[in-house]
Copies of this chain bind each other. A is one copy, B any other.
Amino acid sequence: MEFAITFKGDIDPKRTVALCRQAEVAGFEYAWFFDSHVLWRECYVTMAMCMEHTQNMRFGPCVTNPGVREWSVAASLFGTLALQSGGRFDMGLGRGDSSRRVLGKKPLTVETMVEFADAVKRMIRGETVNYGEDAEVQMPWTNGYEMPVWIAAYGPKALKGAGEAGDGLIIQLADPWLVKWFSDQAISAGKAAGRDMSNFKVMSAAPVWVGDMEKARAQTRWFPAMVGNHVADIVERYGKDGGGDIPTRLTNYIEGRKGYDYRHHADKDADHLGFISNDIIDSFGILGPVEKHVEKIKELEAAGVTQFNIYLMCGEEERIVAEYAEHVLPHFKD
């Protein structure tokens, strides 16, 4: 099991560096960043900064999308980060959520996302790539880096795309049953396309809180609300009753949902959190004493998860990393 942390980009730069060092020393292997350049700081220059203060930790957006940066700009950015860090850059990719919505734009299609992944990988590899109407791009300075791509997905089409085109799948919740239900779809799609899926990676990303349950729920209630945006999209598209594809477990919790203010995305004090039940909070994150964390991550491991990624944005971040370092990670050392 790999362990990761994710920043949303609202922590002071020096503290971000200190957290990366603390996490690297503790055995965390990845530091991911939300990519939503208006809401929070531009994550890529923060990654570049953190790379200078770490040696093995890998970095990447969790997630970027094809609709904010011109594709050659994205490729140059990611390829330069890989080059500067000695190959410590992965791309997490989605269809575009908050970073587009705050500009009044909608998510892009799964097809565009897959096309973008392919184009960017190839540009970073050094190939000549045609995309869009007329751009033909070859970056002469690349060094052949093979950038791993993780695709975030909830809906059937995105899961299929992840399985067919991704090196890994990002599932933004920590419910073992749902994680398995999602990842099975991606893996099946990959196999159907003739890929060897034995090294396919599955990430479960969620907030955690070590300590008292009441406080834990207060600190992480924002998370199911954020996930709710994606579920709402799926439900709207594929039918509220699941139609055989969407489990009731996933859709029920958005009943009563009344709106979402992207200005308070991933914010524990947002006003749009009323509809979230304790059951959902407990199910989507990992809360309580450290033993519960070990137990649930073991379940996730059994469900096929290869990386557990802490959404490190619920307060007391240094303590959370320290608790995991002392009491959780040692249970997953080989």
- A49 touches which of B38, B52, B139 (Cβ 8 Å): B52
Q: How far is the CB of A41 from chain B (nearest CB, A)?
A: 4
**Chain B residues with Cβ under 8 A from A25's Cβ?**
12, 14-15, 18
Provide the A68-84 mask, 1 if CB < 8 A to any CB of B, else 0: 11101100110111011
CB-based contact B84/A135 at 8 Å: no
Task: Name which of A110-118, A157-165, A279-287, A322-330 contacts chain B.
Answer: A322-330
- A139 and B42 CA atoms in complex are apart in Å by 11
- A26 and B14 CA atoms in complex are apart in Å by 10
Query: Does any Cβ of B come within 8 Å of A318's Cβ?
Result: yes
CB-based contact A41/B103 at 8 Å: no
CB-based contact A37/B321 at 8 Å: no
Q: How far is the CB of A125 from chain B (nearest CB, A)?
A: 15
A76/B37 contact (C-beta < 8 A), A45-B47, A49-B48, A52-B52 known: yes
**Chain B residues with Cβ under 8 A from A79's Cβ?**
41-42
Query: Does any Cβ of B come within 8 Å of A263's Cβ?
Result: yes
Q: How far is the CB of A266 from chain B (nearest CB, A)?
A: 13
Give the number of copies in the complex.
4
Query: Does any Cβ of B come within 8 Å of A252's Cβ?
Result: no
- A209 and B138 CA atoms in complex are apart in Å by 31
**Chain B residues with Cβ under 8 A from A37's Cβ?**
72-73, 76-77
A41/B134 contact (C-beta < 8 A), A12-B25, A18-B18, A321-B318 known: no
Please, which residue of chain B has its CB at the minimum distance from the CB of A40? B141
- A84 touches which of B24, B46, B318 (Cβ 8 Å): B46
CB-based contact B21/A84 at 8 Å: no
- A80 and B53 CA atoms in complex are apart in Å by 18
Provide the A26-48 mask, 1 if CB < 8 A to any CB of B, else 0: 10000000000111111011111
CB-based contact B52/A135 at 8 Å: no
Query: Does any Cβ of B come within 8 Å of A303's Cβ?
Result: no
A263/B47 contact (C-beta < 8 A), A18-B25, A77-B42, A316-B322 known: no
Q: How far is the CB of A73 from chain B (nearest CB, A)?
A: 6
8 interchain residue pairs of minimum CB distance: A48-B48, A37-B76, A318-B322, A319-B322, A18-B21, A45-B48, A52-B52, A42-B80
